[in-house]
Amino acid sequence: MILKAKVYNKVFAFKSLKEVMSKANEEKSGDELVGIAATSASERVAAKLILSNLTLEDIYNNPVIPYEEDEVTRAIYDGLNLRIYQEIKSWTVGYLREYILEHKTSGDALLHISRGLTSEMIAAVAKLMSTMDLVCGAKKMRIQSHCNTTLGVPGTLAFRCQPNHPTDNVEGIMAALKEGLSYGSGDAVIGINPVEDNVETVTRLLETVKNFMTKWEIPTQNCVLAHVTTQMKAIEKGAPVDLVFQSIAGTQKANDAFGVNKEILDEAFALVQRKGTATGPNLLYFETGQGSEVSLDAHLGVDMMTLEARTYGYARNYRPFMTNNVSGFIGPETIYSGREVLRADLEDLFMGKLHGLPMGIAPCYTNHMKMDQNDQEMGTLLCAMAGSNFFMGVAGGDDVMLSYQDTSFHDDASTREILGLRPLPEFEKWLEKMGIMENGLLTERAGDPSIFDK
């Protein structure tokens, strides 16, 4: 394993694969905060050069966190298809990049080798890729999943309607839900972040939304994004849950801080299979983001991008219905600017898809970052071109409960119309029946939440 490189007249030597992985990253404030970022532009290129020459076997033999010490590493290695890995282990990371981009390599071929790639291999190749590389690679892969309806159908773009309210007021939540539906947002899921994480609140919100879905025959899925253990208690008490949600991260230590582990997730998956309301087989909804391990002081000296890939390696064993990335949510100490968010979003979308995950992206931002609405809109269009399965949908782009900005109902409708994408098929039929959409375009009636209050 060669860990030394010469960039013109300068020689750079690194101590470990872990160091090469972090220094090969594009600039992000979180890697700098931890003190593992490249200290010059030339050092960054040297790390990329070394990485391009390493084989997949080198990476397999040097996990960034040892198998014995971390549940996430174990999930990645135990879930691997060793036969496929054996066939490709002599490839260099540089060759893998070109293989991904070749015309003759199809999306299905990528999803095949995916089964023999560890998360670190996937992170490594993404570190060699530019913005357009990431879009070209991600766009090839189409990953479908099914809960009540099918997400990821070619030519479609779906949205989570996110009608949050600062006090969980049911009337206020229903108002924002009606607004979102009237713009065609909500085919991925109707998902509410509750303020109060308790069984009573979660049950009340689940029942209210489920009744509304039944009354208006809306083909979608239902979810309240409380802690997984709260949702499990609600299911046991009979609450109508289509999808179980949980935030996860790329180290066991960070997952401990989130209050989750393999045992709890296994139990949650088994429970929603037995007592949930949805068809399945995909019944989980994960949220992830670069930087969560840094903000929880659980990074173990590994860079944010590699940890994010490991999170996907952990997630893929559960065959989730949707995985949403919120790298822009955490703050300037991990991701500082619009430029850094855009880079992270494209990396995450590509890495998630190469793990075989049904990915969605939230190109979101908080008010203490150097990012604005223009950056968010660029990120949204880029990720839609790269084949994101879904985005969020927030009234006017302003989440009044979580205090951050995400894609608006307007952005949802615009992105579909700009790129000629359609809602999920069943949902489009419903929109037509409601008079909201015609031939894939919003009608005059769209955008009026009072269509549900005739």
Contacts to other proteins by CB under 8 A: 29, 32-33, 163-166, 169, 171-173, 175-176, 178-179, 183, 332-333, 336, 366-368, 372-373, 395-398, 400, 403, 405, 408, 410, 413-414, 417, 442, 445-451, 453-454
CB closer to other proteins out of 250 and 397? 397
Residue placing its CB nearer to other proteins in the complex, 121 or 176 = 176
Q: Looking at beta carbons only, is 385 or 400 nearer to other proteins?
A: 400
Distance (Å, rounded) from C-alpha 172 to C-alpha 449?
12
On whether the CB atoms of residues 12 and 43 are closer than 8 A, the answer is: yes
CB of residue 28 to other proteins, shortest distance in Å:
10
Contact 34, 301 (CB under 8 A): yes
Identify the sign of the CA torsion 273, 278, 279, 280: negative
* Cβ at position 37, least distance to other proteins in Å: 11
- The residue (of 179 and 347) whose beta carbon lies closer to other proteins is 179
Burial of 289 (0-12, 13-18, 19+ CB in 10 A): buried
Nearest CA to 58 out of 115, 111, 120 is that of 120
Q: Which of 211, 218, 280, 288 is nearest to 243 (CA)?
A: 280
End-to-end CA distance of the chain: 70
Give the nearer residue to other proteins in terms of CB position, either 54 or 436: 436
Peptide bond into 240 cis (omega under 30): no
| Minimum distance from residue 294 beta carbon to other proteins (Å) | 10
Distance between CA atoms of 21 and 273, rounded to whole angstroms?
Answer: 38
Of 57 and 256, nearer to other proteins (C-beta) is 256
| Residue 296 CB, nearest approach to other proteins (Å) | 13
User: To the nearest whole angstrom, how small is the minimum distance from the Cβ of residue 211 to other proteins?
Assistant: 18
Residue 223 phi, psi dihedral angles, 5° rounding = -160, 140
The CA distance from 243 to 256, in Å, is 22
Instruction: Tell me how far, at minimum, the Cβ of 380 lies from other proteins, in Å.
Output: 13
Looking at beta carbons only, is 180 or 240 nearer to other proteins? 180
Radius of gyration over every alpha carbon of the chain, rounded to an integer in angstroms: 21
**Distance in Å, CB of 122 to other proteins, minimum:** 27
Q: What is the DSSP pairing of strand 322-325 with strand 359-361?
A: parallel
Compute the distance between CA of residue 365 and CA of residue 336 in angstroms, rounded to an integer. 10
Which residue lies nearer to other proteins by CB, 32 or 133?
32
Which is it for the CA torsion 49, 55, 56, 61, positive or negative? negative
Question: Least CB distance from residue 441 to other proteins, whole Å?
Answer: 9
